[in-house]
Amino acid sequence: MFPTKKRFTKFIYSLITIILKLITICAMLISTIVSTRMLIQTIPSKLSKQLFVLSYMNKTIIVFIGFVYFNINITKIKLLIKAITKNLNDTDRHKLKVLNRIFLAFWVILGLPAMGSYTKHMFLIIYNITWSIYGFSWIIAIPLLLIHISYGIHLVERKANKYMTESFNPKEFQRNIIIVNKLKESVNNCLGFLSFLTFYELFATICLRLTHIILNGFIDDNFVDAIQGLIEFSEIILIDLLYVFSVDYFQSQRPTVNDIIDRLSQTNQLTTARDMNSQNILIQQLVHNYSNSEYKAWNVFTINKKFLFAFLASVVSFTVMLIQLLEK
């Protein structure tokens, strides 16, 4: 009787999950269709006055692509989280759970203001709530998920770094470095595309909306909606910046390559050419694995503070080019 009940509960859970995903996909499709219709209706007017609509259309398409990609790779993502948890001790697991709860509360608090609708039309109220749940909330959920996973890997890596200060075992240290590298490779393979979409969406939104403001001198006819949109946009920027600075901080806490080489040289006194050759091979392997252990967005760029400068330079260049193009 018990296995049958357990199987039935699992079936109900799977059915509810599928229904919720179908509702989400339908909501995202509706958002995309509505934004596309708005853009088509305004085509006869000057394109420079419709950049906000174009940016919203781009945002809904990105959200839809990200959601589909996430669900296609959901099994790999679950296995990645399990692998991270498996390599943590009880104390670190507790830290990860605490961070998860903080991020969940943070996500709910940020998503609530986006549900506010200042219109009397029932369709627009439902539409705003739908966008808040399936659009804006999704956009801020991805960076929070990436920070959460990166923090878990940081805890695993910190355990490996203890071998630098305690009784140093080169082979054990190398084994832990390989574990961390595999986890980061899994993040890049499973979630790197989502990271790329996150910054592409931010790039397109900044360029299109900044160009619109410069050319037209206003944001929206409805002041309240304009303020609400500005708040949402600011929250997205802050979350994305938090993701970049968090990953950069986690990476900066690792020992440098020179520290590793220096620690290896102090391990023991080499007396034969064979010992020296073996240690040189070990150092080369460690340096190669260690140096390539980075977070990448779809292998297009590396997530660190240097990326922000390149991002800002690209935003300025593209916006100036877009302004010159639309002014003609």
Q: What is the pLDDT of residue 241?
A: 96
Whether pLDDT at 1 is above 50:
no
Q: What is the Cα–Cα distance from 33 to 60, expressed in whole angstroms?
A: 9
Residue 66 vs residues 35, 196, 215, 317: alpha-carbon distances, Å: 18, 10, 31, 27
Closest CA to 35 of 7, 63, 12: 63
Residue 25 has pLDDT above 60, yes or no: yes
Q: Which one, of 292, 274, 272, 294, lies nearest residue 284 by Cα? A: 292
What does the alpha-carbon distance between residue 154 and residue 96 come to, in Å, rounded to a whole number?
Answer: 11
Mean pLDDT confidence for 44-55: 74
Report, as an integer, the average pLDDT of 207-215. 91
Q: Which of 15-19, 57-61, 109-113 has the lowest mean pLDDT?
A: 109-113
Predicted confidence at residue 73, as pLDDT, reads 95
Higher pLDDT pick, 217 / 248: 248
- Which of the pair, 131 or 239, is modelled with greater confidence? 239
Is pLDDT of 223 > 70? no
User: In this predicted structure, what is the pLDDT of residue 194?
Assistant: 96
Q: How far is CA 17 from the centre of its chain?
A: 23
Residue of higher predicted confidence among 195 and 53: 195
What is the model's pLDDT at position 261? 76
Q: What is the pLDDT of residue 219?
A: 55
Q: What is the pLDDT of residue 271?
A: 59
Percentage of residues in the chain having pLDDT higher than 70: 79
Using pLDDT thresholds of 50, 70 and 90, give the confidence band for residue 135: confident
Torsions phi, psi of 302, nearest 5? -95, 140
Q: Which residue has the tokens 């109220």?
A: 125
Query: And the tokens for 88?
Result: 């943590």
What mean pLDDT comes out for the span 293-299?
A: 92
Pick 314 or 270 by higher pLDDT.
314
Take residue 115 and report the two structure tokens written for it.
Answer: 């549900």
CA dist., res. 113 & res. 132, Å (int) = 9
d(Cα 181, Cα 152) in Å, to the nearest integer? 13
128 — pLDDT class (breaks 50, 70, 90): low
The model's confidence at residue 231, banded by pLDDT at 50, 70 and 90, is confident
DSSP 119-169: -S-HHHHHHHHHHIIIIIHHHHHHHHHHHHHHHHHHHHHHHHHHHHHSS--
Taking residues 223-240, what's their average pLDDT? 82
- 297 - beta bridge partners? 301
Rounded Cα distance between 260 and 97, Å, is 31
Please give the Cα distance from 187 to 295 (Å, whole number).
Answer: 8
> Is residue 138 within 8 Å of 66, Cβ to Cβ?
yes
Say if residue 100's pLDDT is above 90. yes
Position 190 pLDDT exceeds 70: yes
Answer yes or no: is pLDDT of 17 > 50. Answer: yes
59: Cβ–Cβ under 8 A, 6 or more apart, which residues?
135, 139, 201, 204, 205
Q: What mean pLDDT, rounded, does the chain reach?
A: 82
pLDDT (mean) for 208-224: 76
Distance separating alpha carbons of residues 114 and 110, to the nearest angstrom: 8
Domains of the chain by residue range: 61-327
Question: Percent of the chain scored above 90 by pLDDT?
Answer: 41
Better-scored residue on pLDDT, 225 or 262 = 262
In this prediction, residue 127 carries a pLDDT of: 62
Per residue in 68-91, pLDDT tens?
899 999 999 999 999 999 999 999
Q: Quick one: the chain helix, strand, coil %, rounded to 5?
A: 85, 0, 15
Q: Are 27 and 155 in contact (CB under 8 A)?
A: no
Q: Which residue has the higher pLDDT, 9 or 162?
A: 9
